[in-house]
Amino acid sequence: MARSILLVDDEESILQTLEGIFSDEGFEVTSAISGTQALEKIEEVMPDLVLLDIWMPGMDGIETLVKIKDAYPNLQVVMMSGHGSIETAVKATKLGAYDFIEKPLSLEKLLLSVNNALDYNSLEEEISLFKEKQKFSITGHGKAVTELREQIRIVAPTDAWVLISGENGTGKELVAHTIHRLSKRNHKPIVEVNCAAIPEELIESELFGHEKGAFTGASGMRKGKFDLAHEGTIFLDEIGDMSLKAQSKTLRILQEKKFERVGGVKTIKVDVRVLAATNKDLEAEIEKGTFREDLYFRLNVIPIRVAPLRERVEDIPELVEEFLREFSLSTNIEKKEFSEEAIKVLQKYEWPGNIRELKNLTERLMIMTKDRVLLAKDIPSPYNASFDVEHNLMTAFSSGKLREAKNEFEKAFIESKLKECDGNISQTADAIGVERSNLHKKIKAYGIDFAGPP
């Protein structure tokens, strides 16, 4: 793909010369004769680099540089001037310019500076992609994760829209980023939209952007999420929490693939891949009238379900190891380890908060536990079922009355056996040698909480 450059100078003769040079070098060239026009051109063509003159009437190069860096911080800018000074060069560099070249321009120096700036940009992009790859990697080798990886491998290279479902904390965002990273659009951004967090009155401005003066406080033009995601991916997170009004506006742009900014008249066409995620049962929401059926069928081309942690407990050792390593590197705290017994304790817990809850617990134990190896006894309630049993037994032993101690012990014993049998009363009754009806009475009498088959 040819690299693109925007040339900004108020002298037509210089523009013509530079256009010829960079065209011969294989660049796609766009020109502007003022700072104001340069900002408009950037909006239209989004170049890889801007070659910007400092001394121009109206908005000069320094002011234009500030506006460019404010709106597009990663866009490289090389400054040029026929009235250069050390102070001007230092000021431009501090404001974010990659280089400063004096006129009359040396062709060799000019091309070297431009190519170095583009190489630097490429290196930054590679580092960014590497960090994203490290950050958004799916951990685990259990059956659920293996199947998930295979689904992603198949769907990612296509342009198919994907609806990702799963409980809170299961890693739906991670799946979306992995799909984008493995897609043909990974050279463009993935733009996230938290559908639950956008106020209804701001949804149009957030999704489509606005023009200067479109409403009170609109001091300048602002691109919307769909505009920013052009040729890339847009990720509609928690789509089930979007209001019906917002759903209607979103459906329109998904169908037409074009829109106008708030306060604007220009029609903007977009090419985006749509990934959506939800923790809700959208078919049930359709029945309740809170989610549009036509939007659901538009989004649900490829459904992917992310399993909760309780269905993939075999991945807990790998997840814990990853969290320990991450936390150690980010805080300089010595990395710790979980004993096998401690891991087994974690694998028995239900994890209603899923991976997010496991990560929080891991960090807490890293901070609060003194020993390098974390043992089963270090894991607190409610994550440690045996902790509750031991606590009840200690209460029994500390009781001053034999009858009270006996009751406490019997309660702790029944709770322990119920957990071993996954709440199955018939199996528990057989295991402890009592009648099923008798066990029912004791559970009721002691107020024991359990979940499982009768």
pLDDT at 1: 53
| Residue with the two structure tokens 């013509």 | 16
Half-sphere CA count of 412, side-chain side, radius 13 A: 19
- The Cβ of residue 345 has, within 10 Å, a number of other Cβ atoms equal to 21
Selection from 256, 273, 258, 255 nearest residue 224 by Cα: 258
Question: Taking phi first (over 0 means left), then psi (-120 to 50 degrees means alpha), and beta for anything else, what does residue 101 get?
Answer: beta
Q: Is the pLDDT of residue 30 over 60?
A: yes
Q: 206 or 415: whose pLDDT is higher?
A: 206
- Could you tell me if 11 and 36 are in contact, meaning their C-beta atoms sit under 8 angstroms apart? no
Residue 419 has pLDDT above 80, yes or no: no
User: What is the SS3 assignment for 304?
Assistant: strand
Confidence at 8, pLDDT banded by 50, 70, 90? very high
pLDDT of residue 330: 84
- Provide mean pLDDT across the span 13-19: 92
Alpha helices in 271-401 (DSSP H): 282-288, 293-299, 316-331, 340-347, 354-368, 385-398
What number is the average pLDDT over the span 393-409? Answer: 62
- SS3 for 12? helix
The mean-pLDDT minimum among 82-91, 100-109, 282-291, 375-384 falls in: 82-91
Nearest-angstrom CA–CA distance, 268 and 376: 59
pLDDT mean over 23-32: 91
Q: Mean pLDDT across the stretch 223-243?
A: 91
What pLDDT does residue 385 have? 66
Q: To which H or E segment does residue 302 belong?
A: strand 302-305
CA atoms within 13 A of residue 226's CA, in its CB half-sphere = 27
Which of 165-179, 219-233, 263-277, 414-428 is the least confident region?
414-428
- What is the share, in percent, of the chain residues with pLDDT greater than 70? 89
What confidence score (pLDDT) does residue 128 get?
A: 57
Answer whether residue 430 shows pLDDT above 90: no
Q: What's the rounded Cα separation, in Å, for the pair 81 and 366?
A: 56
User: Which residues in 155-272 belong to E strands, given as ranges?
Assistant: 162-165, 190-194, 209-210, 222-223, 233-237, 258-260, 267-269
Longest pairwise C-alpha distance within the chain? 103
Tell me which of 83 and 339 has the higher pLDDT. 339
Residue 127 is predicted with a pLDDT of 57
Choose from 76-85, 130-139, 298-307 the range with maximum mean pLDDT: 298-307
- Rounded CA Rg of the chain: 30
Q: Give me the pLDDT at residue 134, please.
A: 52
Closest CA to 275 of 395, 186, 359, 205: 186
Check residues 283 and 415 and name the one with the higher pLDDT. Answer: 283
DSSP SS3 for 73: coil
Compute CA 358 distance to the chain's CA centroid, rounded to the nearest angstrom: 18
pLDDT for residue 81: 85
Number of Cβ atoms within 10 Å of the Cβ of 311: 14
The whole-number pLDDT of residue 173 equals 94
The yes-or-no verdict on residue 178 having pLDDT over 80 is: yes
Task: Locate 409 and state its tokens.
Answer: 């012990």
What lies within 8 Å, CB to CB, of 316 at 6+ separation is 309, 343, 346, 347, 358
62 vs 202, higher pLDDT: 62
Least confident of 249-253, 268-272, 308-312, 399-403: 399-403
Mean pLDDT is lowest, of 108-122, 225-239, 292-306, 385-399, for 385-399
Q: Under 8 Å CB-to-CB from 249, ≥6 apart: which residues?
A: 203, 204, 207
Tell me how far CA of residue 339 lies from CA of 246, 319, 373, in angstroms. 49, 14, 6
Q: Which domains does the chain have, with CATH numbers?
A: 4-124 (3.40.50.2300), 136-307 (3.40.50.300), 310-378 (1.10.8.60), 385-446 (1.10.10.60)
Mean pLDDT of 179-208: 88
Among 3-17, 133-147, 351-365, whose mean pLDDT is lowest? Answer: 133-147
Q: Find out whether 166 and 279 touch, Cβ atoms under 8 Å.
A: yes
In this prediction, residue 280 carries a pLDDT of: 95
Compute the average pLDDT of residues 291-308. Answer: 96
Sign of CA dihedral 390, 395, 399, 402: negative
Strands (DSSP E) found in 63-112: 76-81, 99-102
- Complete edge-to-edge strand list for the sheet that includes strand 4-8: 28-32, 4-8, 49-53, 76-81, 99-102
Average pLDDT along the chain = 86
